[in-house]
Amino acid sequence: MLKVNDLHARVENTAILHGLNLEIKPGEVHAIMGPNGSGKSTLGNVLAGRPGYEVTGGTVTYNGQNLLEIEAEDRARAGVFLAFQYPVEIPGVSNMEFLKASVDSIRSARGEETMSSMDFIKLAREKCKAVDLPQDFLKRGVNEGFSGGEKKRNELLQMMLLEPRLCILDETDSGLDIDALQVVANGVNALRSPERTIIVVTHYQRLLDYIVPDYVHVLAKGRIVKSGGRELALELEKHGYSWIDEEVA
Amino acid sequence: MSVPMQAQQAHQGLQSSTDWSWLNDWRRRAWVQFAETPWPTRKTEAWKYTPLKSMLDTEWALASDTSNATGIRFDGWDRTVITLVDGKLTDHDALPDGVTVRLMSQATPEQRASFEQRLANTLAGDQLFTTFNQAMLAEAVWIDVAPETVLEKPLHINQVLSADARDRVVPVRLMLDLGARSQMTLVETFASEADGPVFINPVTEIEVGDSAKLTHYHLLLETGDVRHLGAVQAVMQAHSQLNSFHMALGGVLKRKDIVVRHCGSGADVQLNGVYLPTGKEHIDYHTTLEHEVPHGTSHEVFRGIIGDDAKAVFNGRIHIHKDAQKTLAELSNKNLLTSSRAEINTKPELEIYADDVKCAHGATIAQLDKSSLFYFQSRGINRKEAEAMLSFGFINELLEALQDEPVKQLLRPLLAALFAKDDSLARHSK
């Protein structure tokens, strides 16, 4: 489903990714861990097509397509979803309006009919409940005045509504208390399916107690330096990232 | 100076009409003042970015006969409507208790003196087109709301230019005295059904009495070949409240001078506005907050989106007088340019002569936030639609804050048309 081959990327003239390789099959959950500055968030942003993240080498193939040639909006329509680490606040555009426009465009890309407003409101309310967000958050401006945890839950709400095929969770656990973490993890687990791939980018293994990954990769200095199963995360938790640095050196 | 203003004949015609002789001196003085004021050029500070050349293309005459015109309707809003077509009162609903309306054109000889006195309250100052309004005055509507009157229904002054208004100048004066501890909503709408150049010159003058509360909408919704040069003045008495919303769409040239004076202490003013010129339109808001007494507060937010070859001007002045201690005044003006040819000239001005005040002001000219655009695109929303949604969001913040849902309902479809995906306010050409 996703094949990243020798990916090099830079952000504002600083090279961040130095030959990253990663292959993911449908239905798998991969965790990408690594110290600050290792390139975790860059990977997510490059995959989602964020402007300013310049790919200087390598390829990314998604379902047989060259992902890097596709506009951000078309990547989303093809099923790529990035849950942002820092979702932006957009006063003046209601969350409901934003979600409806988003779901409409994704559905039309899939060749499905657009939902009536009534049906959509019903669905959105239902999903709000699932992520433990009060319904009045639908009327508020997109992320406007939301707490850190509420923003993350709003990301999850979008993910549930859009039903993407490749979900990239960029440090979705940061800034969450234990209750919110469980809500988010339950939501993500509910989305696990044989057709859906999930990449969990995280600094801490805590989230992986709740979203149990099939594979764990350690990212350091812009490359994946170690891959393994669930136990690798526990090892990192125990020893920190410094032993990785030593091994790489 | 000579008067390049092509309206001298109209003024003379007005003066020779016997109905008006009781106001002739008053109008003549204003005309002399107007005529002696140097015609604004690029060197005139108040008109630096708003050329008046287009005013000289037409020999303006006063409106005489008027045909039927409807103006703005609000669906499902129970309100008291006063309709003025081409500056003449054509229709009004029954007035609620506590409200009196007097027309200058029907003033009895006994009422004339008080009319003259009341008219003199308006300060023309250096407002050229307020002076002009005085010189050309053919009608004034004077509304008085008795103290302790709470009006359930809003009062809607529905001003419309009819098809007969082509080549006409329409000066109108509206005066509202809101008695102490009274509360009401005043909605002024301006619309035009004229085909060809029209010139509307309205001056609204409001006094908000002690502890009275006024919600005011002043909506310039005329489109086409309309020139709208006018003013709004408000005098705030002690502990009064004003919540004021201005909007300007369309038209060849629109200029509004807004002056709010804190004359009684402890008054609270919220002054917001939105301007959206496209094509070759030109919209200019000049606002002044005069804090003359202590403990006044004012919050002012104006936002504009300027597309195509349009131009906008915003000048926001806060003047805190020597005695106006403990004043709190904030002013923000944000602009979005959606074309490389669009132009905004914005200037916040702060003049503070008191030492114990809190004041903040700022003006920005921006393009759409790139992170917000990416956020929308990353959710499958195409760039054009994302730009349209974000542009609309930029002003929608102010619309959503309006207290009256029917006003939002009136404005939403107008704005939706303006922001339709292919339109210039959302196009964001580089």
Q: Mean of the pLDDT values across residues B223-245?
A: 96
Nearest CA among A195, A198, A225 for reference residue A212: A198
Residues 396-425 of B with CB under 8 A from A: 396-397, 400
ipTM: 0.96
Residue A70 confidence (pLDDT) above 90: yes
Taking the C-alpha atoms of residue A202 and residue A169, their distance in angstroms, rounded to an integer, is: 8
Between chain A and chain B, the number of residue pairs with CB atoms below 8 A apart is 81
Statement: residue B3 has pLDDT above 70: no
Instruction: Say yes or no: B384 contacts chain A, CB-CB below 8 A.
Output: no
CA distance to partner chain A, nearest, from residue B426 (Å): 14
Q: Name every chain A residue with its beta carbon within 8 A of the beta carbon of B385.
A: 101, 105
Task: Give φ, ψ of B30 to 5 degrees.
Answer: -65, -40
Q: Phi first, then psi: what are they for B122, rounded to 5°?
A: -70, 130
Q: Which residue has the tokens 């989303």?
A: A76
Phi/psi at B24 (nearest 5 deg)? -60, -45
Whether residues A97 and B371 touch (CB distance < 8 A) is answered with no
- The answer to whether A73 contacts B390, with C-beta atoms less than 8 Å apart, is no
- Specify the pLDDT at position B13: 83
Our separate counts of H helices and E strands in chain A read 8, 12
What is the per-residue pLDDT across B53-76, written as a single tens digit (0 to 9) for each?
888 888 888 877 777 888 998 888
Backbone angles phi, psi at B401, to 5 degrees: -80, -10
Inform me whether the C-beta atom of residue B426 falls under 8 Å from chain A C-beta atoms.
Answer: no
Model pLDDT for residues B72-96, shown as the tens digit of each residue? 988 889 999 999 999 999 989 999 9
Contacts of A118 (CB under 8 A, 6+ apart): none
Order of strands, edge to edge, in the sheet holding B358-366?
A: B88-92, B80-85, B155-161, B183-192, B213-220, B241-249, B268-276, B297-306, B328-337, B358-366
Q: How far apart are CA B161 and CA B86, in angstroms?
A: 5
Beta bridge partners of B99: B145
Residue B419 bridge partners (DSSP): none
Query: Which of B217, B160, B161, B213 is CA-nearest to residue B188?
Result: B217
- pLDDT value at residue B2: 44
Pick from A82, A97, A141: CB nearest B378: A82
pLDDT at A248: 61
Return the structure tokens found at A99.
């979600």
In B112-141, the residues whose Cβ lies within 8 Å of chain A are none
For residue B38, what pLDDT is reported? 87
Q: Do B390 and A93 touch (CB under 8 A)?
A: yes
Q: How confident is the model at residue B261 (pLDDT cuts 50, 70, 90)?
A: very high
B391 touches chain A (CB under 8 A): no
CB distance B146 to B180 below 8 Å: no
Task: Kindly report the nearest CA distance between residue B338 and chain A, in angstroms.
Answer: 18
DSSP annotation of B195: S
Which tens digit of pLDDT belongs to each residue from A104-152?
Answer: 999 999 999 999 999 999 999 999 999 999 999 999 999 999 999 999 9
Rounded Cα–Cα distance for residues A93 and B389 (Å)? 7
Angle B76-B82-B85 (CA atoms, 0-180°, nearest 5)? 110
Nearest Cα residue to B295 out of B236, B244, B245, B349: B236
Mark yes or no for CB contact A50/B378 under 8 Å.
Answer: yes
With a cut of 60, say whether residue B222 has pLDDT above it: yes
Average pLDDT over residues A219-225: 92
Calpha distance B374→B224 (Å, rounded): 36
Cβ B186 vs Cβ B213: under 8 Å = no
SS3 category, A186: helix
Q: Is B266 left (phi over 0), alpha (psi -120 to 50) or beta?
A: left
% of residues, chain B, pLDDT over 70:
97
CB-CB neighbors (< 8 A) of B393 in chain A: 90-93, 141
More confident position, B195 or A77 = A77
Q: Do B389 and A97 touch (CB under 8 A)?
A: yes
Contacts of B104 (CB under 8 A, 6+ apart): B23, B115, B119, B137, B139, B140, B141, B142, B173
Q: Given CB atoms, is A167 within the 8 Å cutoff of chain B?
A: no
Cα R_g (chain B), whole angstroms: 21
Helix axes B24-36, B109-120, angle to 10 degrees: 20
Q: How many CB atoms lie within 10 A of CB B149?
A: 19
Distance CA B149, CA B180 (A): 9
- Cα separation, B305 vs A245, in Å, equals 52
Phi, psi (rounded to 5 degrees) for B326: 60, 25
**Confidence band of B413 (pLDDT split at 50, 70, 90):** confident
Averaged pLDDT score across all residues of chain A? 93
Domains annotated for chain A, with CATH where assigned, are 2-90+148-248 (3.40.50.300)
Q: Do residues B294 and B323 make contact, with C-beta atoms less than 8 angstroms apart?
A: yes
Answer yes or no: do B381 and A109 touch at CB < 8 A.
Answer: no
Residue A93 is nearest to which of B370, B378, B389, comparing CB atoms?
B389
pLDDT value of position A135: 92
Distance between CA atoms of residues A196 and A29, nearest Å: 9
B374 with A72: Cβ contact below 8 A: yes
User: Could you tell me which of B331, B312, B332, B305 has the C-alpha nearest to residue B320?
Assistant: B331
- pLDDT digits 0-9 by tens, B345-384: 999 999 999 999 999 999 999 888 899 999 999 999 999 8
Does A76 contact B at CB distance below 8 Å? yes
Q: What letter represents residue B197's amino acid?
A: P
Q: Give percent above pLDDT 70 in chain A.
A: 98
Q: How far apart are CA B97 and CA B326, in angstroms?
A: 38
Under 8 Å between Cβ of B280 and B306: no
pLDDT at A97: 94
Least-confidence region, from A102-116, A229-243, B79-93, B321-335: A229-243
Confidence of residue B335 (pLDDT cuts 50, 70, 90): very high
**Global pTM?**
0.88
pLDDT digits (tens, 9 = 90+) for B100-143: 999 998 999 889 989 888 888 777 777 899 999 999 998 999 99
Residue from A81, A93, A100 whose CB has the most chain B CBs within 10 Å, to mutate: A93
Give the list of residues 6+ apart from residue A42 with CB closer than 8 angstroms, or none: A9, A11, A16, A17, A53, A222
pLDDT at residue B367, as a whole number: 81
Cβ of B375 within 8 Å of Cβ of A88? The answer is yes
Ranges A175-184, B231-240, B309-318: which has the least confidence: A175-184
Instruction: Please provide residue A237's backbone torsions phi and psi, each rounded to the nearest 5 degrees.
Output: -60, -40
Q: Which residues contact B38 (CB under 8 A, 6 or more apart)?
A: B1, B44
pLDDT at site B68 = 82
b (16+ CB within 10 A) / e for B278-307: beebbbbbbbbbbbbbbbbbbbbbbbbbbb
- In the prediction, which pLDDT does B405 show? 92
